[in-house]
Amino acid sequence: VLHFGPADAAATVTPPTTHADLRPAVLLTASQSRDSVDLSGQWTYSKDLYRTGLNDINGWVAKSRMQRYRDIDIAAQEAKGGVEFFEFDLDRSAQMNIPGAWNAATPTLRYYDGLVWFQRKFNARKEQGKRAFLRFEAVNYRAYVYLNGKEIGRHEGGFTPFVLEVTDALRAGDNRLTVGVDSTHDAQTIPTPITDWDLYGGITRPVRLITTPATFIDDATVSLGQDGRITGAVQLQGAQAAGQLVKVAIGDLATASATTDANGRAVFALAAPGKLQRWSPDSPKLYDVRFSTATDAIRDRIGFRTIAVKGNEILLNGKPIFLRGISLHEEEFGSNPARNMTEQASRALLSEIKHGLNGNYVRLSHYPHSETTLRLADEIGLLVWSEIPVYWTVDWENPAVLHKALVMQAETIYRDRNRAAVVMWSVGNETPVSPARTAFHSAMADNVRALDPTRLVSAALLVERHKVNGEEVTEIQDPLADKLDVLAVNTYAGWYGGDTLDALPNLKWKLPTDRPLILSEFGADALAGYRNDGMKKFTEEYQAEYYRQTLALAEKLPTLRGLSPWILKDFQSPRREHPVFQNGWNRKGLMSETGVRKQAFGVLADYYNRKAGTK
Ligand code: GCB
């Protein structure tokens, strides 16, 4: 959990000395298998544009009559009369469904960007010898959490989970949980306010109250190594964490056991059983894996596969693979979407990729998507590129911002490293080359390798075009390339820039031959239904032809091993204000916001069908 104040972020946060320092204090891995109370449902809320409810930030301005987190029955106080009065009452405020971004909840909040207070009351038991935690899957962007009037923690970063212990703050009976959610972004946040998507504020993913034994399994990992061995580690927390026997069972295929060391950690290794079925998009086999001690147990559904790069090939389970993918934002279908990713919404999007496009791969851009989506990728069989929003502009020279990026990256890796689907961690998207920026990304790449040496490292780079001996050449001129296992580039020739579409296949590209390449983005806007108007920009025909020509160019790139064009569906973006074609939507989707397929959808699906047949 990061502690910060808006103005003093640089002063209070220092870069870590080791990668281990980045481990969140409590993880509760596989918490979906634990006893818990789901706090989804109706929460009350109160806007606080001037931030008067946070007295530590507003100093003398904030008054107790405005402190939204007070544990007080205001109606009862008012009934008694007297001199005290209040300028909020969360008990009687309007309600909103949580989880979910506030932007779609009511029209007045569609473009609200600031602080909103949420309250949820719940009943709890206090169980002797047990511990209690609140686990938030995501709050965008900053969270200030109070239980029964007492601050229990804060978190920065809109897409990663955090866990706060509430064993002592919890009451038997009624409890009042108050969460201040600040969606404001600035030059020191990740991302900064300059993006191409809607920043969606709120408690966007589930919140659960989880109980564990006094000593509990905090983390457990298991994976298949290149050497054919299954290795893993289990981390206990609590007074009795040392010297415990830990058992691991992989379906009914194999078991292992180990004893925890003085730090509560146990590692285990076994030869992969002959009958082990490897996970792949074609056969997304998951095993029920159970980790247990004498007093605690957790379960997860885990797939086993290897991923590697050899020369310019990407090898899944030792065999070359071509990544037939698409990029995806976290935003459900519909004319008034938000970031409300139910299992149904996520399944609808991933099914279009898997079955509609015959894809085997998805770029989850530009931030860690919901745990629901990651689990579905495992289940449906889609390889995943994962990234954090180190995007376009970042305060590269600021060590506090680098620290935030490394924490976010660690939170993502600890969350998802048991997901077989995740094969690549990206350390950036389209960031202009400079020494400070390259040092920042390099630190991120080193961090990823230290925290997870089993997966590939990439980044979405920009290409440069310039003349060599009178001939125009497209090249990667970025020292960050040296840090990456897989080169990835975003290319928009034929949309941005002055190229005509028929020129695209003849563009000369010069690329390193020793590494695989992915086109991490390419795309063109089209308004669904705008047809038959010549080859004009924003028509479906233009977008379809753009795809044909860009795919023809792709075919000429000898090291190309995958594609994730931009993007599956039109998405909300406040940058896009053309009153005829856009109206607040980025129109590069292969489908409209309501799921109507544009012509280009078929162009890409045909291409992937051919690729799948010839792989
Ligand atoms: C990009 C960005 C993506 C934008 C896209 C566009 O390069 O990575 O976030 O939405 O271009 O539509 O311009």
Residue 3 lies in a domain: no
Half-sphere exposure of residue 343, counting CA atoms within 13 Å on the CB side? 4
CB count in 10 Å sphere of residue 255 = 13
| Structure-block tokens of residue 370 | 């919901």
Note the ipTM here. 0.99
CA distance 519 to 507: 15
Same domain? For 539 and 610 the reply is yes
Nearest CA to ligand 1 atom 3: 196
* 489 Cα: distance to centroid of ligand 1 (angstroms): 12
Q: Are 204 and 179 in contact (CB under 8 A)?
A: no
Same domain, 479 and 556: yes
Q: Which of 213, 241, 267 is the last residue of a domain?
A: 213
Domain boundary among 249, 272, 305: 305
571 lines ligand 1 (CB under 6 A): no
Q: What pLDDT does 305 receive? A: 98
Distance in Å, CA 425 to ligand 1 centroid: 19
Assess whether 337 and 419 both reside in one domain. yes
- Please give the Cα distance from 385 to 261 (Å, whole number): 34
What's the CA-to-centroid distance between 142 and ligand 1, angstroms? Answer: 25
Pair (371, 294) in one structural domain: no
Residues 130, 158, single domain; the answer is yes
Q: Is 196's C-beta closer than 6 angstroms to any atom of ligand 1?
A: yes
223 domain residue, yes or no: no
Residue 110 sits in the same domain as residue 244: no
- What's the number of domains the chain is made of? 3
For the chain, list residues with pLDDT below 50.
Answer: 1-14, 615
Ligand 1 touching residue 462 (CB < 6 A): no
Residue 357 lies in a domain: yes
Whether residues 68 and 188 fall in one domain: yes
Domain shared by 82 and 154, yes or no: yes
Specify the pLDDT at position 62.
Answer: 58
585 CA to centre of own chain:
21
600 with 544: CB under 8 angstroms? yes
Q: First and final CA of the chain: distance in angstroms?
A: 45
Residue 50 lies in a domain: yes
The pLDDT score that the predictor gives to residue 613 is: 87
pLDDT at residue 432, rounded to an integer:
95
Domain with residue 160: its CATH number is 2.60.120.260
Assess whether the C-beta atom of 430 lies below 6 angstroms from ligand 1: yes
Residue nearest (by alpha carbon) to ligand 1 atom 9:
196
Give yes or no: residues 75 and 100 share one domain. yes
Residue after which a domain boundary falls, among 156, 189, 213: 213
Whether 48 is in a domain gets the answer yes
Please check whether residues 33 and 149 belong to one and the same domain.
yes
Q: Are residues 362 and 241 in the same domain?
A: no
Question: Which atom of ligand 1 lies at the shortest distance from residue 195's CA?
Answer: 9
- The CA 200 to ligand 1 mean position distance, Å, reads 17
Residue 65 falls inside a structural domain: yes
CATH number of domain containing 476:
3.20.20.80
Question: Within a domain: residue 325?
Answer: yes
CA 193–ligand 1 middle distance (angstroms): 15
Residue 198's domain comprises 9-213
Whether residues 494 and 372 fall in one domain: yes
Q: In whole angstroms, how far apart are CA 539 and each of 531, 534, 543, 553, 561?
A: 5, 8, 7, 21, 29
pLDDT at 16: 53
Assign residue 264 the CATH number of its domain.
2.60.40.10
pLDDT given for residue 58 in this prediction: 53
Return all residues near 306 (Cβ < 8 A) that are at least 6 apart: 224, 225, 226, 278, 315, 316, 317, 318
Specify if 76 maps to a domain.
Answer: yes
Q: Which atom number of ligand 1 is nearest to the Cα of residue 490?
A: 7
Instruction: Give the pLDDT confidence score for residue 5 in this predicted structure.
Output: 34
